[in-house]
Chain A
Amino acid sequence: MTILEIVAFTLIKIVIILSLMLFTVSYLVYFERRVSAWIQNRLGPNRVGWQGILQPFADVFKLLLKEDIVPEKANKKLHAIAPIIALFVAFSTYAVIPFGPELQIFNYKIPLVVADVNIGILFVLALTSLGVYAITFAGWSSGSKYSLLGGIRSSAQMISYEISMGFSIGGVLLFAESLRPIAIVESQSGWMWNAIVQPIGFITFLVSAFAETNRLPFDLPEAEPELVGGFHTEYSSMKFAAFFLAEYANMIIAAGLIVTLYLGGWQIPYIDKLGLPSLVETLLQVGAFVFKLIAVLFFFLWIRWSLPRFRYDQLMNIGWKVMFPLSLLNIIWVAILIMIFN
């Protein structure tokens, strides 16, 4: 492929992924409201369009038309920059998550990932560590005590859980012997999914992912009964919507990471034995990735509407005294496995 073709294909992939992300995020909100209603034996939004299917559009128009209020004591520039950082981090992380194997079409081999870089997993970690700033700045620049407390809580929480997240990824990297997400998926061929091989690492990563995305039971940064809305108390209109979008985009990324690192990515076990034409096989595998993604997202929603919130000291205790030692244990377990079977 010439450089021009590579650039063209990459741009096409970026456009497709960005629009798909925006679409999925808005329907994830709808999905969450319907699922929560179903779990709590209510109806949920069902008025706009058939079964409320147009609800996301109605919500977005409502938010666009609302007045944008900036508090008097706020630092105006930072107050505006914070939601932009949140959206930037949330949407650019997806660049390294592969959603399918190589697509062979008209003599072209297109890898189904925007950027196949050899430090992919570190790139994800770097961007999530930058995501802390959005919340910290939002909390500080609002000039409100609730926001500041929410922002500080969240940075403490995200830093604490980043550690067990990083160590759980360490186990995966030991197996894959690479930091490339594609190589990690390929190392889990057949039923050698990391969730089965290293269940402790899977659980610690899952819990840390919940904490990193500020989802219940770890949503202390915005705990409504204590902090009104936490870091986004003073945000309204589209700026609030930007934080909302970023939260759901982060959920999709967390789910994508869980699928890539622990659930075998796009792979369907033993599909190559069936001898299907390569295009069909590729499309089936992309479908498998989407199916796994939706399953994990449903799990996220299910947990949110089933478990109560932790207290702050419980949150820190779980992070440092349970999850961190468990993720270290997982690394030792993986090292022993590699010693025995290599």
Chain B
Amino acid sequence: MSLELILSIVFGGICAVTALLVITRINPVISALFLVVNFASLAGLYLILNAQFIAIAQIIVYAGAIMVFFLFVIMLLNPESEKKFFSHKPYIKIFTVVIVAIVFVQIIYMIFLAQPSEELIKESAKSVNAGTIEQIGRELFTNYVLPFEAAGYLLLAATIGALVIAKKKFE
């Protein structure tokens, strides 16, 4: 077995186990902790796929910033009623299982049964080095500069929106 395969099995295993633990733990803070571990192992998988920038961005943005805010909210609100959510509404459980089963079948079909076209295989062979930061930077500022700038404006609008909401009254 090659090193990549062993590492993918290890990180994939951690990923799957922690993902299960996230939805089975009753205490939301523990769930959040496992979600962070899950993000970290996902970053490991990205590293194996030679996508260093996405791996690090995954940790900085999701594990480092977003989850901290989640934890913040969980700790300050201490949501007791959420713990009994499913016992109060059993029909939501069935609904969730059906939706997840459909998505799961779709993914299995895409991975094992669908035949990828020749074009796609060629394209994906080219993208081996697409994940390095130099490559991403070059692509962002040449081919994808318009969507990049558009995303910038979107973020600016969101920032101004947050300011307006946070400011209680205008003088």
Residues of A within 8 A of B (CB): 75, 78, 117-119, 122-123, 125-126, 129-130, 132-133, 136-137, 140, 148, 151-152, 155-156, 159, 162, 179
Contacts and interface: CB of A to CB of B under 8 A. Distances in A.
13 contacts: A75-B27, A118-B132, A118-B134, A119-B53, A125-B56, A129-B60, A130-B36, A132-B68, A133-B36, A133-B71, A137-B33, A155-B71, A156-B72
Contacts of A162: 64
A45 B171 CA distance: 58
Contact of A148 (B33, B53, B57, B75): B75
B65 interface: yes
B29 A133 contact: no
Interface in B17-56: 27, 29-30, 33, 36, 40, 52-53, 56
A224 to B, nearest CB: 23
A260 to B, nearest CB: 18
Given A140-B29, A179-B133, A129 B65 contact: yes
Contacts of B60: 122, 125-126, 129
Given A122-B57, A136-B68, 7 more contacts: A118-B132, A119-B56, A122-B60, A123-B56, A130-B64, A137-B33, A152-B76
Contact of A159 (B33, B57, B68): B68
A155 B33 contact: no
A129 B133 contact: no
Contacts of B134: 118
Contacts of A136: 68, 71-72, 75
B63 interface: yes
Contact of B63 (A118, A123, A129): A129
Contacts of B40: 130
Contacts, number: 67
B71 A122 contact: no
10 closest pairs, A vs B, by CB?
A129-B64, A126-B59, A122-B56, A126-B60, A119-B52, A126-B56, A140-B75, A119-B56, A132-B68, A129-B60
Q: Interface SS of chain A: helix, strand, loop or mixed?
A: helix
In this complex, the interface size class of chain B, counting residues with CB under 8 Å from chain A, is: 20 to 34
B148 to A, nearest CB: 16
A129 B39 CA distance: 13
Contacts of A126: 56, 59-60, 63-64
Given A78-B33, A119-B133, A129 B72 contact: no
A211 to B, nearest CB: 15
Nearest to B57: A122
A208 to B, nearest CB: 15
A118 B47 CA distance: 12
Nearest to A159: B68
A59 B120 CA distance: 63
B133 A130 contact: no
B66 to A, nearest CB: 11
Interface string B120-163: 00000000000011100000000000000000000000000000
Contacts of A122: 53, 56-57, 60, 133
A32 B86 CA distance: 54
B36 to A, nearest CB: 7
A182 B57 CA distance: 21
A162 B36 CA distance: 19
Contacts of A159: 65, 68-69
Contact of A152 (B53, B59, B72, B133): B72
A151 B29 CA distance: 14
Contacts of B65: 129, 159
A155 B53 CA distance: 25
A75 B33 CA distance: 13
Nearest to A156: B72
Nearest to A125: B60
Nearest to B74: A140
Interface in B62-87: 63-65, 68-69, 71-72, 75-76
Given A119-B133, A129-B64, A137-B33, A155 B56 contact: no
Contacts of B33: 78, 133, 137
A194 to B, nearest CB: 20
B58 to A, nearest CB: 9
